[in-house]
Amino acid sequence: MPGTTSSDIDSLKVIVIGAGIGGLVLAQILHSTPGIQLSCYERYKAIDDRVVGFRVMLSGTTLSMLKRKIKSDIWADLAFGIGEQPEGGEKIEFFKGNGNKMLTWDSDPTKDQYSVSRWHLREALVKEASFVRTGISFERYEVLPNGRVRAFFSDGSTDECDLLVGADGTNSNVRKQLLNHATIKDLGMVVIYFKVPLTERSLKLLGSPANSTHTFCPNNQYIMLAPWQNPLAPFSTRYTQHTIDPEDSYIMLGAGSPHANFHNRRCSPNELTQSELQAEVLARTSQPGIHARFRELAEMVCLDTAYVNIVRKSEAVHPWTSSPNITLLGDAVFNMSNTLSRGANCAIMDAAALADRITSPEYRRERHQPAALDDYVRGNIERREVERQRSAMMQKIMFSGQNKLRGFIRNKALPSSLKKIDSLDREEHEGVNWIGSDGEGSVDSTGEEPKWVEELKWDEIFEGRHGHEKG
């Protein structure tokens, strides 16, 4: 073809819609891949939202994969968000509302979870992200006669690509057009989240220092406490009644309830003010039979950190084969309950799997064929269906129903229910020390400081940001 080169022929233009965790991981991997042009569109003007301040749970397998696939400087920034892990691994402890402990969930899948600051994760992924265009909302796409895709945006602009990736969340506009039969259902459950500064006082109120706790309360309600502890500054010092520094250690307080059981019903929960949300949590934690430490923690929340999650369920979809140049990842495929905190982990795995396919020599040869992305789509849906099932089982445990008999049965069946959740897990948990691994599958058994920690020089970087006080 006159005027073209092999480089032109082999080039691939990818547009990612949505700068959430999954979209950014995909974009960062592709951005450093020769022969790929990349644009990422985000509807919000700032790549930020209330939920970004909270923690996510990532497996050792996922963190190891990220370390291999993203640039070393991005990994170094991301690593600052990996919180202090409890001795022996992450555990979840279950309590009754009166404070009596029921049991500890410490299976291999649970212990192989790492508390990662979503803020640090996002900050690392937007580093040098010149490919992100913010404040531009995607509206629709059109498949052109030449096989390319034209994307239309709210500001009247358009952009064309060889592959359009919808990573735009549960309410994905890409999915609405690609899979117009998919539906989303409001389940009537709501979780209110706040940050509580992690201080010596609040640490004593956790009930189980360093471990996450789930507490079953009357009226089909629960309280979740999950700490994120900065390894370099274990206690919070930069907070007020309203705000907390994103690098400060904190306790994530979650209060789940059916909307029908809210004390304040003047409007939708996500329209309540921050003070009203705190008052709602205070009212619940003041009920008879609820241990006093929960109210004390609710009094310590930072008001501006309030976040409301209205639990919704998007319909599980079948593999789509309508177009080889349009696909989805993350919650844009279908979402899952956040009771196991697996959404971000799954989105990152989606992104890595799609990046592996897009960057393979086979894809360059097959990308115009109808089945070019079929293996990715099938694997994506299978993985998400498993995690969706596990999360749904956990959600049934947390919201067991109004009837006291159901709560009694839930409590008796809790050990076997948790074992069923574990039995569905498909990730590898072989005790690989991803922190100290120089190669895939290696284990650092020397007991020495991991090599990558030495390379990061955490103390120097931290002092450069905050001075010499780490208190």
- What angle is formed at CA 178 by the lines to CA 177 and CA 181, rounded to 5 degrees? 80
Nearest-5° angle of CA 317, CA 141, CA 166?
A: 45
pTM over 0.85: yes
Residues 6+ apart with CB under 8 A from 388: 316, 334, 335, 336, 337
296's tokens? 């004390």
Residue 377 lies in a domain: yes
pLDDT at 51: 52
152, β-bridge pairs: 140, 158
Does residue 102 belong to any structural domain of this protein? no
For the stretch 278-296, what's the b/e string if a residue is b when 16 or more beta carbons lie within 10 angstroms of its beta carbon? bebbbebbeeeebbebbbe
CB–CB of 212/177 below 8 Å? no
Is 286 inside a domain boundary?
no
pLDDT band at 445 (very low <50, low <70, confident <90, very high): very low
Residue 94 lies in a domain: no
Is residue 61 in some structural domain?
no
Residue 173 inside a domain? The answer is yes
pLDDT in tens, 399-441: 987 778 888 899 999 999 999 999 999 887 755 444 433 343 3
**pLDDT for position 438:** 39
**What's the rounded Cα separation, in Å, for the pair 390 and 313?**
14
In a domain, 230, yes or no: no
Read off the CATH number of the domain in which 356 is found.
3.50.50.60
- pLDDT tens column, 361-409: 999 899 989 899 999 999 999 999 999 999 999 999 999 877 788 888 9
In total, how many domains does the chain have? 1
Three-state secondary structure call for residue 297: helix
Say if 155 falls within a structural domain. Answer: yes
Residue 293 has pLDDT above 60, yes or no: yes
- Over residues 182-222, the pLDDT tens digits come to 888 898 999 999 999 999 999 999 987 778 999 999 989 99
- Average pLDDT (322-326) is 84
DSSP states along 148-207: -EEEEETTS-EEEESEEEE---TT-HHHHHHTTT--EEEEEEEEEEEEEE--HHHHHHSS
**CA distance to 53, 300, 467, per residue, from 243 (Å):** 11, 11, 20
Quick one: which of 19, 16, 79 has its CA closest to 49? 19
Residue owning tokens 């301040």: 53
How far is it, in rounded angstroms, from Cα 287 to Cα 207? 18
pLDDT at 119 over 50: yes
Instruction: Give the residue numbers spanning the domain of 170.
Output: 6-47+126-183+315-399
Closest CA to 400 of 167, 241, 219, 198: 219
Q: Report pLDDT digits (tens) over 147-175.
A: 999 999 999 999 999 999 999 999 999 99
